[in-house]
Amino acid sequence: MKLILTAPVEKLGVAGDVVEVKDGYGRNYLLRQGAAIRWTRGTETQIDGIKRARDAREIRGVEHANQVREQLEALSVRLLVRAGDSGKLFGAVTPADVAQAVKKAGGPALDKRSIEIAKPIKTVGTHTVGIKLNDAVTAHINVETVAA
């Protein structure tokens, strides 16, 4: 089965890649998860759009990743959350919340799938979050959760 990836899939490729996979894997996993679309001649134009979008936000090389890491680690990221009197949050902080807070703090636009939260953030305070910029470079930022 020939598919076009719409999201990065480990050990298979990144968004915009045309891949050949077994029918069951493609039909039962990739298509249902929304990680791929069926390949047709008409979708060739969609590949170009996906690749342009990926190039716009992609980190180019280790040097560029190190520059972005320095920029991220210099940021002061505050996240306003709903919390009880004891300091416990109503819910948990998600990678999408962190990506939005980084952008609001003046950082670059991040893909929520690149944000790695080691243990769920469920309390008010300062927490360390990893951001995978490249295979070799990971930035670690401190996110301060403040009760709103």
119 CB contacts (<8 Å, ≥6 apart)?
A: none
The pairs formed by 31-34 with CB atoms below 8 angstroms and a separation of 24 or more are: 31/3, 34/6, 34/7
pLDDT, mean of residues 124-143:
90
Q: Spell out the domain ranges in the chain.
A: 2-57, 61-147
Q: How many CB atoms lie within 10 A of CB 101?
A: 23
Higher pLDDT, 119 or 60: 119
Q: What per-residue confidence (pLDDT) applies to 56?
A: 57
Per-residue pLDDT tens digits for 72-123:
999 989 999 999 999 999 999 999 999 999 999 998 888 888 899 999 999 9
Structural tokens at position 52: 């342009």
pTM recorded for the entire structure: 0.62
pLDDT averaged over every residue in the chain: 88
Region of poorest pLDDT, from 21-35, 43-57, 65-79: 43-57
Confidence of residue 33 (pLDDT cuts 50, 70, 90): very high
Q: Where are the extended beta strands (E) located within the chain?
A: 2-5, 18-20, 36-38, 77-81, 88-93, 115-116, 121-123, 125-132, 138-147
Residue 50 has pLDDT above 60, yes or no: yes
Burial status of residue 148 (CB atoms within 10 A of its CB: 0-12, 13-18, 19 or more): exposed
Sign of the dihedral through C-alpha 11, 14, 15, 19? negative
Per CATH, domain 2-57 is 3.50.50.60: no
Contact 36, 22 (CB under 8 A): no
Structural tokens at position 43: 């979708």
Q: What per-residue confidence (pLDDT) applies to 55?
A: 65
Q: Which CATH class is domain 61-147?
A: alpha beta
